[in-house]
Chains A and B, each alone.
Chain A
Amino acid sequence: MNSFYRLQSIFRDVFSNPRLVLTEDMAMSNFDEWDSVAMVHVILAAEAEFGVRFNTDEVATASSVADIIKIIDGHLNQL
């Protein structure tokens, strides 16, 4: 399963919505339930799932699905 679908599984879990369909343009600005607390859930779950660690700048700037995938893939490419 690629990063996108693994991340979709995380979002479904965090937002308690097994039918949630992730899109790259989904962002905190257009998804009301996605607040800073949900973002903490998403990032900590992504760190556990992908075995990576977000740095503080990445945490501060990530605000969309596309951002998160880019950060995860960036870390995975360095492994």
Chain B
Amino acid sequence: MTLPFDKIDKAMPQFRLHHVGYLVRDLSAAQEFVDRLGYRIESDVIEDPVQTAFVQLIRQPDTACWLELVMPNGSESKLAKALSKGGGLHHLCYEVNDIVRACDHLRGQAMLTLSNPVAAAAFPGRQIAWLMDRGALLIELLESGDGYLTLASIMKKNGVA
């Protein structure tokens, strides 16, 4: 059963898909996404100490979210085990206005907080947090903003108010 939009709980935090994390052995995979699927590289390679990884954001023109390629930053990376199992789709990241409230909401929805909000290496001036559920769904929360690599910046480019 679907719920009409006007019946959705307005007190619930809004979660807007910002990027999908995709675990790769090598960030040169970015070029494959460019050549095969028309993505454009939209960030430098950034080292993220929270994920113990190097990441790079790519996006297809006129789409409203990014693909984040994630590569372990060494053999001791927290992601090395996941990569040894094959890598691929890794996490979903949602932009939220109030990251503490969003964490509290998901914590009450049978998700475990793996990391409280901390400064985001890949998204300067914003915070991220990590949660996981029993089905191994890994969710990253990212504070919303209006500058580089924000959903608001895409909306502006696409002419959406």
Show the binding face of A for B, using Cβ within 8 Å: 35-37, 40-41, 43-44, 54, 56, 59-60
**Do B114 and A44 touch across chains, with their CB atoms under 8 A apart?**
no
**Cα-based distance from A36 to B81 in the complex (angstroms):** 10
Near A by CB (< 8 A), chain B positions 2-61 give none
**Do B115 and A40 touch across chains, with their CB atoms under 8 A apart?**
no
Q: Does B110 contact A (CB under 8 A)?
A: yes
**Cα-based distance from A44 to B81 in the complex (angstroms):** 22
**Do A56 and B132 touch across chains, with their CB atoms under 8 A apart?**
no
Show the binding face of B for A, using Cβ within 8 Å: 78, 81, 110, 112-116, 132-134, 136
Q: Please give me the residue from chain B that is nearest to A48 by CB atom.
A: B110
In-complex Cβ contact of B134 among A35, A40, A56 (8 A): A40
Residues of B within 8 A of A56 (CB): 113-116
**Do B112 and A40 touch across chains, with their CB atoms under 8 A apart?**
yes
**Do B110 and A44 touch across chains, with their CB atoms under 8 A apart?**
yes
Q: Which of A43, A44, A56 has the most CB of B within 10 A?
A: A56
